Every structure is written in C-alpha cells, then in structure tokens.
Amino acid sequence: MAKQILLNNINVPGLASYEVYRKLGGYSAVEKTLKNYTPDEVTAEVKKSGLRGRGGAGFPAGMKWGFIDKSTDNPRYFVCNFDESEPGTFKDRHIGQLNPHQLIEGMILGSYALGARSSYIYIRGELFYVLRIIEKAIDEAYRNGFLGENILGSGYSLDLHCHPGAGAYICGEETALIESLEGKRGNPRIKPPFPAIVGLYNCPTVVNNVETIANLPWIMNNGADAYAAIGIGNSNGTKLISACGHINKPGIYEIELGLPVKEFIYSDEYCGGILNGKKLKAVVAGGSSVPVLPAELILRTANGEPRLMSYESLSDGGFQSGTMLGSGGFIVMDETACIVKNLLTFSRFYHHESCGQCSPCREGTGWIEKILYRIESGKGSMKDIDLLTDIAKHIEGNTICPLGDAAAWPVASAIRHFREEFEDHIKLQRCPLSK
C-alpha cells in the first residue's frame, strides 16, 4: 500500500466533524507550528519539502510564498483556490466534502507562514453543499480556538472565510479568482504585476490549490525531509488522481509520484484495467487541458522508458510525445472512444467558459468548436484539419491567461497523434466508430 497523506483517514465515519478529526491527531500541526516555528521557518520548511502546486502548473509552493511582497505595510492574504471545474478533475471536492478540517488546518499554517490575518477559501458555486460542510467546520474551528483572535495563546490571529463563486471555470485562474472575490466580473488580470505583489484588494496575495494546502499539516507534523523522501526526482510527495473513463474502477486515488502509468491503469489497487477487457486507445493524463496521448506513448516515453506518474516523466518529450501531470484528472479512453467527439466535448467546454476578454481565445475557441462539430457530423473538409492546427497555434501563448493554451493544446495534440481519425471522419462523412 502506498503512502497516504490526504486520504489516510478518509473512510473514517464522521471525519468532517471536529471531534473525530481531532481524535485522529488533527490540528497537532497547528499546535506544534505556532509554538515552535517562526513564519519564515514554515516557509523554509515548505520550500525544503519540494511541495509543488497541485492545481495544474506544478509551480513549487514554497517558492511562490517566497515571492510575497513583505516590504509594504499592507495586509497580506492567503487564498485557497477551490474552483475545481476542469473536466475530468474531481479531487478537491473529495477533500472538502470528507476532510474539511485538514484543509482548514492547512489554511491556518499557510496564513501563519505568510503573515495573513484574513484568508479566503474561494469555492466553486456548484459545490454549494461542500460550502455548507466547510462553513460548519470553520465554525467548529472557531469554537475550539483554532481560528479567531490569539490562536492557542500564540498572539497570532486569523479570520477564515469561505466564499462561493458563481460557477465560472475561468475563476480558477488566480487573478480572475481575485477579481471575483473582490466582487467584480471574473476576468483575469494582465500580468505583471503578479498577485504576490498586487493581489486581493491590491495587497500581496498567495493563491494555492486545495490539495497543496491540505498537504501542509503532514509536512509540518512529519518534517520536510520525510515529505521529500516520498516521490521521485523533483516530484515530491503524493498526488490525488481522479480517474475516470473506460476503466473498471473509476475514483479518486492517492499515488506516490513516480508510480508507473501502466501499473496505475492495470493494477487492481488502482484503475483495475480497461472496462470489459477492451484495448487502451488514449489517455488524457491531467485534466482536459493537457495534450492527449495515444496508448503507446502514455505507457512508454518516446525513448522507450516506462512512463511514470510524475511531473517530469509525463512531460518527457515535450508536447511532441509527452503531456503534463496537470491537475490529475486521468481520463482513459478505450478503442470505442471517438477522439474527435471527445475533443468536440472539450472544445465546447472551453468555448463556453472563455471569459471573452482577449480576442484569440474569445473568437478562436468558438471557431474551433464549430469546425469540430462539422467534422464530427460528417460535413468537414480536409483543409479543416490544417485550419484547426493553425487556429490552435495562434491562440496558444497569445492570450492573457492560460485558458487559451488549455483550449489549444488538446486540439493540437489530438491532430498530432490521431490525424488519421480526423481524415476518416472526412472521407466517410460520418464518425467511423458509430454504427
């Protein structure tokens, strides 16, 4: 059994309540840290642990904290990004719903490290029932002295708020999240300046993913070295993978980074193989925005080495033959899945969720969807394929925020690896896989 940090006690009944969480050793990290560590020491510890952002980009969390502007007297803010809405990703909801106190404990530790006096959990609007659970947990934490004035007599005070969004995917982008939190339209800001300098209410702000924050109590309890010992290379610790698609056991799994992809898909401990014994066709390894890979490239890298579930191994070969770990939304497709139709679904999503601020993404995502719809319904022409590649190329890198990239990568990769399937759609004037 692999090391469990986040899902260790997840099946304990009543874990969402303060009493059960406390009995299992909860909030001991807060007690230990507020007593024995200065804020800078916490940051140093997180840096040493090599914890990387779990929201998708994999940016080292400690380094992100280090960027925060300490030269001003302005208040600092620590914000948790709970706007999980990438197709295929459903890991954060699991933590929020079943183990909210671990998230709150992480929030206290992060806020302490950054010197924040008010912190926010920005939760996706659709997850209103999770908001209720978290708010109840926050109340319990207040009642037991872990939030509010003078926590545990340490002199450190913190207010924690949970704020629901209105269900926009774009508000998962950190500056759009900040705008939305301020009560404005959720449009991403133009960077620089970055939130660490000018963030929430124009004050220095750090935004971290739920899973990143939920790792903090374990790191402070067991030490950075113990955390760094888990995993492989620069991919330290464990990662939640939400596996879905044509597999026998869809669900949320905590893996040690470095697990071979083959083992993850086929072993009974995890996905349990492909549904009905069919053949693996393709995998989207990290949520809908990362490039799709065909079976031969997801199991082995272009150099013939076994592909591992880690930031480095999955991105081995660049976008030519690799992909990204992303947010951990692991979508498996068997031989009956139509790549074009799947891509159309993704593209419809990005078209729907584009904020409309900058022109390449606003116009390009809609254009891609319309062309894909044409191809899928048998009305495409051969030059549409190159047109799609061209559109994707000109969205990528030209937009204000990464949503444009996220919309372009699946298109470019699907055509790169499955061009024949697009051509078949056009030649047959229908989907070759439909009866």
Partner 1 sequence: MSLVKVIIDNIEVEVESGTTILNAARKIGGSVVPPAMCYYTKLEGSGGYCRSCLVKVAQGSAKDPRPMPKLVPSCRTTVQDGMVVQNITSPEVMDNRRAITEFLLLNHPLDCPVCDQAGECHLQDLSYVHGLEETRTTEERRTFEPIDIGDKIKLNMNRCILCYRCVKVADQLTDQRVHGVLGRGDHSEISTYILKAIDNDFSGNMIDVCPVGALTDKTFRFKSRVWYTNPMDAHRECSKCGGKTVLWMKGDEVLRVTGRKDKYGELEEFICNDCRFEKKNPNEWIIEGPRKIERHSVISQNHYEKLLIEENNPKIKIEK
Q: Shortest distance, CB of residue 407 to partner 1, whole angstroms?
A: 11
Q: Shortest distance, CB of residue 426 to partner 1, whole angstroms?
A: 14
Closer to partner 1 by Cβ: residue 63 or 190: 190
Half-sphere exposure of 304 (CA within 13 A, CB side): 0
**Is residue 170 within the footprint of partner 1 (CB under 8 A)?**
yes
Residue choice 241, 399, 414, 418 for contact with partner 1 (CB under 8 A): 399
Residue 291 and residue 306 in contact, taking contact as beta carbons nearer than 8 Å:
no
Burial class (CB in 10 A: 0-12, 13-18, 19+), 303: exposed
Token code pair at residue 342:
């799947």
**Is residue 394 within the footprint of partner 1 (CB under 8 A)?**
yes
Closer to partner 1 by Cβ: residue 266 or 373: 373
Residue 385 CB: number of other CB atoms within 10 A?
Answer: 18
Residue choice 70, 370, 419, 427 for contact with partner 1 (CB under 8 A): 370
Rounded to 10 degrees, the C-alpha dihedral 4/6/8/13 comes to: -160
At 24, is the secondary structure helix, strand, or coil? coil
CA dihedral (106, 111, 112, 117) positive or negative: negative
What is the Cα 306 distance to its own chain's centre?
A: 24
**Is residue 126 within the footprint of partner 1 (CB under 8 A)?**
no
328-367 residues near partner 1, rule: CB under 8 A: 351-360, 362-367
Q: Shortest distance, CB of residue 357 to partner 1, whole angstroms?
A: 5
Residue choice 398, 423, 431, 433 for contact with partner 1 (CB under 8 A): 398
**Is residue 194 within the footprint of partner 1 (CB under 8 A)?**
no
Closer to partner 1 by Cβ: residue 33 or 357: 357
Residue of 378, 370, 368, 366 whose CA lies nearest to 338: 378
Residue choice 387, 389, 423, 433 for contact with partner 1 (CB under 8 A): 387
Q: Shortest distance, CB of residue 127 to partner 1, whole angstroms?
A: 19
Residue of 298, 289, 281 whose CA lies nearest to 247: 281
Residue choice 63, 190, 229, 428 for contact with partner 1 (CB under 8 A): 190
Using the rule CB under 8 A, give the single segment among 269-277, 286-294, 336-344, 398-406 that binds partner 1: 398-406
* Cα Rg of the chain, angstroms: 22
Give me the residues that bind partner 1 (CB under 8 A), please: 168, 170, 185, 190, 351-360, 362-367, 370-371, 387, 390-391, 394, 397-400
